[in-house]
Amino acid sequence: MDLYLRAYSHPLRFLFVFSSSSSSYAALSDAELLIALCTDDEGSFTEIYQRYCYQLFTVAYRKLKNREVAEELVQDLFENLWNRRASHEIAQLKQYLFSALRYRIINYVKAQQVRAGYELYCRLAGTKFDTTTEDTLAHGELSAALLAGMRKLPAKTREIFQLSRLEQYSVAEISGRVNLSEKTVEYHLTKSLKLLRSYLQDFLVLSLVMFYYF
């Protein structure tokens, strides 16, 4: 079965690597294919793949807008189906495949959210975060978390934070705009960053809990 796994480096090319399943397999119901799969029947696995691969990929790609990730999730799903062929308890094949894909998509998004949350936390904390990923799916949620944190800041502290971090005014410029000493402005900035770090840390912890338990 090694050939199957090698073909999975590009799952949607599977049909071009292997000959189509015979008409005898194509005529089988999903339930019959599952029974055959349990007996290590590679032909039944080929038919299941050909029957559902593109549908599953289409769903994953529509949700994630990322071809490579969609292919990887479908790859993992079929590899898991083959590896557990003797022990699976599947009542409805189609329902199982799409439910299993849904969980993989959810877990991927949660993992990206945790990664992006940690990156944003590190930026606010002034520590280094080593990543080659420029964007993630969770930026909208993180922006909402940041805005929610800003709303919790005292009014003057929030105003100074916005002027500094969002509008890029210098400490001296902010001092003149809000009629406070530069030292007081720096105090408010320090306070705002400390409070926001705390808030986003809570957000990150919550994301981790969701990732590991849901």
Are the CB atoms for 45 and 37 separated by under 8 Å? yes
199, 98 contact by CB (below 8 A): no
Q: What is 2-47 written as a DSSP string? A: HHHHHHTTSGGGHHHHSPPPPHHHHTS-HHHHHHHHTTT-HHHHHH
Full pLDDT tens readout for the chain, 214 residues: 433 433 444 444 443 334 455 678 888 999 999 999 999 999 999 999 999 999 999 999 998 888 999 999 999 999 999 998 888 889 899 999 999 999 899 888 776 766 665 565 556 555 454 444 334 434 555 666 677 777 888 899 888 888 887 677 889 999 998 999 999 999 998 888 788 777 776 665 545 444 444 4
Quick one: pLDDT at residue 11? Answer: 40
Q: Residue 81: its pLDDT value, please? A: 93
Domain map (residue ranges) of the chain:
2-90, 138-213
Topology, domain 138-213? Arc Repressor Mutant, subunit A (1.10.10)
